[in-house]
A = this chain, B = another copy of it.
Amino acid sequence: SNSPEKAGYIITANLLNYKNGKIYPVNPKISEVLGLKVYPSILDIPEDVDLAVVTVAAQNVPEILGECARKNVKFAIVVAQGFSDAGKEGEALQKKIDEIVMQTGLRVIGPNSMGIINASNSLITTFVPIPNLKVGDIALIAQTGVFCGAGLIWLLSFNFFGLSKSIDLGNKCDVDDAELLEYFLEDPDTRFIFIHMEGVKDGRRFFDVARKVSRKKPIIVLKGGRTDEGARVVASHTGSLAGLENVYNAAFKQAGILRVNNLEELLNLIQALKFSPLPKGDNVAILTFSGAFAALLTDLCVENGLKLAKLSDETLSKIRNLSPPYVNISNPVDIWPAVMVKGAENVYPVVIDALLNDPNVDSIIVFQGFSRFFPEFWGLNPRIILKHLDRVVEKPLILSTIGEPLTVDELNEVTKLFNEKGVLFYQSIDAPIKVLNQLRQYKIYLDRVERKEV
């Protein structure tokens, strides 16, 4: 199309970024778009075609796919909706695609797919403009376009993340999650895989593949349709069967898949998997400036299946030496009295070092108030900790703050500095413990793999 707001036009514009090949627009009604010659039909293209992006209306899709097959196109991405997501008529239409796939060997992504992105060669077939595409090591497999749109923009707005590939599977008439997982297992650009799913077609195959992949590359899943009502919405959306939540949960666990419930949990977990070591055991040390938060954090630890570490005598005496005599030192460590006496600069580095060296401690959460008005007073100037942390940590160390929120730029700067030392940084009281629980679950899975129990 020559209308800048139409999908065909935006897709063509996006494809012009592609570095490794030629673009052939097809449209019987126009002869040129964005400086490219337009062909009346795919059959008129003079060279071989690897990938077709099909943007015609649903009822015309079978005919166009037939032409693709005759042209020996390898892959087609079908954008149109109105198939198994849209009642009996749509289902019949999707059956026609199935037949073409079966009979011709043409591989199809979709229908109802927003498209794919390959960050390494800038192949972008989506009808969403993707500005500042940031190359990284996270692959996205989504069942629905919004996760390749909103999800991407959200991911890219945090500059410490980046993308390897993104595929919107839509109704999954042919290419499915299992096949892509196998691909990403071998893809050198991908270290982490995020899947948004509403349903799985061949459950046994998917979980077999996931079990194989997750021991090399972490798989994170966000799944819609946890409840019966949610499953009903899913059915009308991508035509998937969502139900049997407890079956899914058991299978996810068995396959070493980590589950999140929203994009925030996803971002927090990706930061953790990317930068933190995994915890060897359940024992958490909590360092905070407030007995009140010590109690709230302890509640969260216990509710997430973690334990409070019993600190070693050496650690206890090091902290006692910094504290006024009336303070009982135990875990959680209330650091406020020591900071009042000795100053944050002299307290945090020593205590964090003691906890890192303590064999009874498997992971450490440092939870602080924070305000740019009184960084010293609130016990945390994150830069104090950074300045004195002269090593990359070898067990999970999570720094987390409440108080005046940082701007996105400040957050990125501080997070990046911490991440370089293997330390995680969040602005939340829940995030560190949820993340620690996930890392712990993943470590338990990997240990079972090593013992050949999986």
* Chain A interface residues (CB < 8 Å from chain B): 58, 81-82, 85-87, 90, 128-129, 131, 142-147, 149-150, 153-154, 157, 196, 198, 222, 224-234, 236-238, 242, 261-264, 289-296, 298-299, 301-303, 308, 326-328, 330, 332, 334, 337, 369, 371, 373-374, 377-378, 402-405, 407-408, 428-430
10 tightest Cβ-Cβ pairs between the two chains A and B: A237-B291, A224-B295, A146-B290, A230-B299, A150-B369, A144-B292, A227-B302, A226-B299, A230-B298, A233-B295
Residues of B within 8 A of A308 (CB): 229
Complexed CA–CA distance, A315 and B397 (Å): 52
Interface of A is mostly: mixed
Residues of B within 8 A of A371 (CB): 150, 153
Residues of B within 8 A of A58 (CB): 326
Residues of B within 8 A of A87 (CB): 328
Across the two chains, which residue of chain B brings its CB closest to A198? B295
Across the interface, A262 reaches (CB within 8 A) one of B143, B302, B429, namely B429
Q: Is there contact, CB below 8 Å, between A328 and B236? A: yes
Residues of B within 8 A of A128 (CB): 374, 377
Given contacts A224-B296, A369-B146, A373-B129, contact A402 B229 (CB under 8 A): no
Identical chains in the assembly = 2
Given contacts A233-B294, A292-B196, A373-B131, contact A299 B225 (CB under 8 A): yes
Across the interface, A429 reaches (CB within 8 A) one of B149, B263, B334, namely B263
Q: Is there contact, CB below 8 Å, between A374 and B326? A: no
Complexed CA–CA distance, A225 and B291 (Å): 11
Complexed CA–CA distance, A134 and B223 (Å): 42
Given contacts A294-B237, A408-B407, contact A299 B227 (CB under 8 A): yes
Q: Is there contact, CB below 8 Å, between B404 and A154? A: yes
Q: Is there contact, CB below 8 Å, between B224 and A144? A: no
Complexed CA–CA distance, A374 and B150 (Å): 11
Nearest CB of chain B from residue A232's CB, rounded to whole Å = 8
Complexed CA–CA distance, A232 and B291 (Å): 11
23 contacts between A and B (CB under 8 A): A86-B326, A87-B328, A129-B374, A129-B377, A144-B290, A146-B292, A146-B369, A153-B371, A153-B403, A157-B403, A157-B404, A224-B292, A225-B299, A226-B299, A227-B303, A229-B298, A230-B295, A233-B332, A234-B295, A236-B328, A237-B291, A237-B334, A261-B430
